[in-house]
Amino acid sequence: MPPEAAPLKTRPVRVSMFLWGPAGCGKTHFANTAPGKRLFINFDNDGPASLEKSDETLIKDYTTEHDSCVNQVKESDPFGIDRELRTHPDISTVIVDSVTAFVSRAVAYSAGHKYAPGSVFENPGPSGYGFRNRFTLGLCKSVLLATAKHDKHVIFIGHEDTPTLGAEGAVNEITVLLGGSLKQEVPSQISEVWHMQERNLVRYVQVRQFGLYKPMKTRMFDAQKGFEFEASNKDNPAKVLLAELFDRWKKNEYNKLELPK
C-alpha cells in the first residue's frame, strides 16, 4: 500500500549523517554521543576500543566475518537491522563504523567472484571496482531504508584519504576514503556530511566545505555564519554532544541552528 500524504510539519524527522576524518580524531567517540541507545554495525578492527562499556551501546561485530559481511547486502534484512530495531525499540541511533572498512572488504571479496569476472586481488580491475561500488551503495541504501522505516537516526563513519595531488605535486583536494565515484555517491544520499579533525588536542567538526576539504554539507546549521565548531578539548571532552544538538534542532522545529560556541 502506498504511503499516505501528510503535512510536512507533522512528519517525523530523523538525522542521517556521514562523519569522516583522519584516524584517531574521535569520530567513533563523537558518534557515540548520539541520542538514546546506539547500535554499532562494526567493520573496523578495534573500532569500538575507544568506547566506554555501557548498556546503552550495542555492537554487531563483523570484523571476523569477511565473506558473510559483504554477502549481507543481498539479504532481505541486511545485517539484521530491521529485526534489531523491532526487537529493541529503545535503540535510537544506528552507527556504521566504517564504510571505508566495508569498501576494503568488498574489494578483497571481488577477487575471483562471479559478480566480478576477471578480478584478482592484486588488480581488481573494472569488474572488481564495479562490484565494490554496487555492494557499498547497497550497504548504505539498505541501512538508510531500515532506519527510516523505524524513524531512527543513522550515522555512517568514513576515513580520510591521502591528499590528491596535481601534476606538479600540489594538493588538489582532501576527501573521504571510499574510492572511485563512491566519494560523491555515498554522501549525496545523506543530509548531514561533516568532517572531523584534531588540532593541538582540540577536536573540531566542519559542516561546510573549506579549503581543500570536501564533501561537507548541512541542513542543521546556518553555515553562512561559519564552517566549524569545537566538539571537545582536553579540559572538556564532552563539550558538544550529538544528542543535545539533535534535541536543539527538534525544539527549533528543524529550522537552522547557529553553530555551537
pLDDT tens-digit readout, 59-97: 999 998 877 789 899 899 999 999 999 999 999 999 999
Q: Kindly report the backbone phi and psi dihedral angles of residue 95, in degrees, each rounded to the nearest multiple of 5, phi listed first.
A: -125, 125
Domain boundaries, the chain: 8-251
What pLDDT does 167 receive? 78
Answer whether residue 10 shows pLDDT above 70. Answer: no
Cα–Cα dist 220/177, whole Å: 24
Cα–Cα dist 86/101, whole Å: 27
| Per-residue DSSP letter, 253 | T
Q: Which residue blocks in the chain are alpha helix, DSSP H?
A: 27-31, 67-71, 81-87, 99-110, 125-149, 182-188, 242-251
What pLDDT does 168 receive? 80
Q: Which CATH number fits domain 8-251: 3.30.450.20, 3.40.50.300, 3.40.980.20, 3.40.50.720?
A: 3.40.50.300
Answer whether residue 39 shows pLDDT above 80. Answer: yes
The model's pLDDT over 160-214, given as tens digits with 9 standing for 90+, comes to 999 988 878 888 899 999 999 999 999 999 999 999 999 999 999 999 998 899 9
pTM to 2 decimals? 0.93
